Amino acid sequence: MAIFNLTVNGKKTKVDVEPDMPLLWVVRDFVGLKGTKFGCGMAQCGACTVHIDGQPTRSCQMPISSIDKKAKITTIEGIGEMQLHAVQKAWIEEQVPQCGYCQSGQIMSAVALLKANPSPSDQDIDTAMSGNLCRCGTYDRIRKGIHRASDMMKAG
Amino acid sequence: MKNIDTSRRNFLKTTSLTGVGLMIGFNSFGKDKTPKKLSQVGNAVLDLEINPFIIISTDGTISLINPRPDMGQGSTQAAPSLIAEELEVSLAQVKLIQSDGQSKYGSQQSGGSSTVRGLWTSLRKAGAAAKEMMIEVAAKRWNVSISECYAQEGKILLKNSTKSFSYGELVDDASKLTVPKNPKLKDPKDFKILGKYNKRLDVPDRVTGKAVFGIDIEVPNMVYASILHSPTIHAKVVSIDDTEAKKVAGVLQVLKAERQMPHRTSETVAVIATNFWAAQKGRKALKVTWDNGDLSKMNTDTYFASTYDAAKKEGIRYEEKGDFNAKFVNAKQKLEANYETPFLAHAPIEPECAVVHQKEDGTVEVWAHVQGPDGALGDVARYFGVSKDKVKINVPLLGGSFGRKAYHDYLNEACFLAKILKKPVKMLWTREDDIAQGPYRPGMLSAMQGFVDNGKITGYHHHAIGESIVGQVFKGLAPDESDPWLSGEISTENSKYEFPVAKVSWTNVKTDIPIVWWRSVYASNMGWGQECFIDELAQLAGKDPLEARLALIQDVRYRKVLETLAEKANWKEKLPTGQAKGLAVFASFGSISACCMTVSKNGNGIKIDKVVSVLDCGYYVNPDHVKAQTEGNIVMGITAAIKGGITFTNGVCDQSNFHNYNVMRIKEAPKMEIHIIDSGANPGGVGEPGLPPIAPALGNAIFAATGKRIRKLPFDIDNLG
């Protein structure tokens, strides 16, 4: 076991875990933020997507020891703390989720996409979002949701 | 599984025979003639349970019980909407409670696309009865006739006045009344909620990480478990070397455990730890020797070879009109073709898990994402050997299911551990467990025969071949019986094709690979053979696929579905060479669904340009639920056609995770358009009926575009061979 200092959603926190424990389990079971989900354990489904310094990252394949102690980790709970993020609002408007289990990861990928590319085309969306699986089949609404969020962000 | 066994089997059996408008047999509404006072201080009632589904408190709180767990299909909104419509409350003002399996709530199984059609009348009656009681009390207090009172937004109002009582103010007196047996239901034209677009109120929680799924449950003093299963699924443990496993920090214990499936129990090895990562690491460090019996012979290749052998022989007849065999022998224009569908994993995005705790007093508490809390209650009580009143079932949200979480092997595994550990245990499957351990949709073969005469399809035979769900899961299939879940789906009663000569038959080919229902059950397999072969016969008859179908069908609703599809998908549109459309229609779970695909040649493969689906599901709760479910069915139906496919070699599943069990990703998702027909018929299913026509519509479109007839799923859309 070893002590790791983390900054999660702007809050400093300390965990005492095995160095090879993936960030996913640290965040869920030690920091107590359950919004980030386990889907495959091998970075194939994207349900565990979080941001590390703004970059979408599959947390199930990220050992805690490999994370820079100054890194800023953001989870689904951290993107709209004061008020909902435009992507979350757009997801509600388009009624994107069915079961919703993959949507934390979808939203984290979408937020990062819009930051890098405020006006993505369908093709840009497909490229950026193809690491996130949805078994309920909400893909068409995810595209609509991202376009809507893009419009909302541009309108301020 | 006994609870599910009888209800689901009877229910599907009846459904397939009667088509639409089935009421699942549950009459819990009005079981108690008088309302039940849940809490009382002195003589004052605080919470009144008017019937099992409605609790009104004197503080004004209105709670509605949702008797169907939500796996993404929207039951948390759909079921309470039925009550709220008649009770005259808005969903925003009520508290929702998930039912806990108790028998007073009747069948609580989310399955068979049954929520709305099964509860359509009973839950509305529950709401209407409560409203009538409130009106009666208010009328007495105002000393007016009940016709001068009306309900709105949780209040009773007096016409032509500003007077009103909230339901909370009326509860105490209402508790003294008898619950009306036959309350008057609203005319559908007066519906304010049902049939209208409404946003799901639980979506905000699902986009902020607040929604609580099975995997998110945490209870004090909980330990975690990861279970090593035999690669051949069924096996006995010969030896366990846990030396390395026990060295893993956090590992508490290693024990021999069991996985109880309905038809078979296998031995397993469980690693118990202080956290899931440690449990999983410990499991990887185990060295276990298994006795796999003769299961190394469990191969999908040999299974399918047996189905093709069976196709050459006569099956058990389910239906026959005319002497098919004699006419087929003499027919001048005839066809034979075999259509194959693979085994499939459900792969819900949330893996199987459960938290179970047997307390010191022997009572058991369960937190599990099951599709049916009533079935789970029975299974858990049986497992622990306690009466049902000693078991409390809590049902969090399901992160997808598609039938998987109505099969309680994983719940039984957690029960086994809880019984030994005497502390709360969270058992979580890995994705590898989910993909490689089953149960699966069975792989099936449709052996088709048919003939045409004078440009008309005049003879048709569908011989369904494969393992039986009723047979394997419920041990409920007699040797001379055709699987009742399947035969109804492929009967001409269901397809409405009025062939002059027709036969439907069945042969059971058994396998040790565990199988179970998967979204739309056998319809997901059988639509492929039926609808592709109709196109083959249409071509032989020289007819357009739409015209050939309309020539066989007189049923008004089916015709309307096909005609609407033709109009919305612009069926007759002239397309450039290399682009074409294909269609299919299939009825299941009381609804009729049709799909048209437009595809284009793309190198040696094709790409899907557009999908248009039409659904007649009768009355529905929320058009957006219907659309969302149909969109999901399009994605899952295409996935089932061009992705995945579970295979077994020498007893072991060849797939293990999403890198080799592929499912559709966003870049492959086509543009889609859904049209709902407002037929005003009795409610049909919504969660599943959209799926069966998808694969055959694609197969038919590919033939139209390329001349290649695909008969085996899955196929490579980028290389048709």
- Binned at pLDDT 50, 70 and 90, residue B37 comes out as confident
Q: What is the ipTM of this complex?
A: 0.98
Q: Is the pLDDT of residue B29 over 70?
A: no
Q: Is the pLDDT of residue B512 over 90?
A: yes
Q: Locate the chain A residue with the closest alpha carbon to B632.
A: A137
Q: What is the mean pLDDT of residues A77-92?
A: 95
Q: Is the pLDDT of residue B44 over 90?
A: no
Predicted confidence at residue B42, as pLDDT, reads: 65
Predicted confidence at residue B40, as pLDDT, reads: 65
- Binned at pLDDT 50, 70 and 90, residue B203 comes out as very high
Min Cα distance A98 → chain B (Å) is 4
Q: What is the mean pLDDT of residues A121-135?
A: 98
Q: Give the residue ranges of DSSP H helices in B269-338.
A: 276-284, 300-311, 324-330
Among candidates A22, A38, A80 on the partner chain, residue whose Cβ is nearest the Cβ of B215: A38
**How much is the mean pLDDT over chain B?**
93
**Which residues in chain A are closer than 8 Å to B70, comparing Cβ atoms?**
99
Say which range, B190-199, B478-487, B557-566, has the weakest mean pLDDT: B478-487
Predicted confidence at residue B48, as pLDDT, reads: 76
Residues in chain B: 721
Please report, rounded to a whole number, the percentage of residues in chain A having pLDDT higher than 70: 100
β-pairing, B316-321 vs B501-508, is antiparallel
Asked if B628 has any chain A CB less than 8 Å from its own CB, the reply is yes
Contact criterion met (CB < 8 Å) for A103 and B207: yes
Say which range, A133-137, B294-298, B634-638, B708-712, has the weakest mean pLDDT: B294-298
CB B212 within 8 A of CB A34: yes
CB A146 within 8 A of CB A87: yes
Predicted confidence at residue B30, as pLDDT, reads: 37
Asked if A103 has any chain B CB less than 8 Å from its own CB, the reply is yes
**Calpha distance B110→B113 (Å, rounded):** 7
Predicted confidence at residue A81, as pLDDT, reads: 78
- The pair of three-digit structure tokens given for residue A49, joined into one six-digit string: 């997507």
CB B304 within 8 A of CB B255: no
Grouping H, G, I as helix, E, B as strand and the rest as coil, residue B284 is helix
Predicted confidence at residue A46, as pLDDT, reads: 98
Asked if A136 has any chain B CB less than 8 Å from its own CB, the reply is yes
Q: Locate the chain A residue with the closest alpha carbon to B631.
A: A137
Please report, rounded to a whole number, the percentage of residues in chain B having pLDDT higher than 90: 89
CB B519 within 8 A of CB B688: yes
Please report, rounded to a whole number, the percentage of residues in chain A having pLDDT higher than 90: 96
User: For chain B, what is the radius of gyration of the CA atoms?
Assistant: 27
**Which residues in chain A are closer than 8 Å to B223, comparing Cβ atoms?**
none
Asked if B249 has any chain A CB less than 8 Å from its own CB, the reply is yes
* Backbone φ and ψ of A13, nearest 5°: -145, 160
Predicted confidence at residue B12, as pLDDT, reads: 30
Min Cα distance A154 → chain B (Å) is 21
Predicted confidence at residue B1, as pLDDT, reads: 29
Residues 6+ apart with CB under 8 A from A68: none
Predicted confidence at residue B294, as pLDDT, reads: 85
Which contacts qualify for A63-68: CB closer than 8 Å, 24 or more apart? A63/A19, A63/A20, A63/A21, A63/A22, A63/A23, A64/A4, A64/A6, A64/A15, A64/A17, A64/A19, A64/A20, A64/A21, A64/A22, A64/A23, A64/A26, A65/A2, A65/A4, A65/A19, A65/A20, A67/A4, A67/A6, A67/A23
**Calpha distance A110→A129 (Å, rounded):** 7
**Vertex B709 angle, CA B705 and B714, to 5°:** 105
Predicted confidence at residue B16, as pLDDT, reads: 27
Element (DSSP H or E) covering residue B132: helix B115-142
CB B278 within 8 A of CB B249: yes
B334 DSSP β-pair partners: B451
Closest by CA position to B51, among listed B184, B183, B186, B200 = B183
Predicted confidence at residue B45, as pLDDT, reads: 65
Contact criterion met (CB < 8 Å) for A97 and B72: yes
pLDDT digits (tens, 9 = 90+) for B375-403: 999 999 999 999 999 999 999 999 999 99
Predicted confidence at residue B7, as pLDDT, reads: 34
Predicted confidence at residue B438, as pLDDT, reads: 96
Min Cα distance B159 → chain A (Å) is 37
Contact criterion met (CB < 8 Å) for B666 and A125: yes
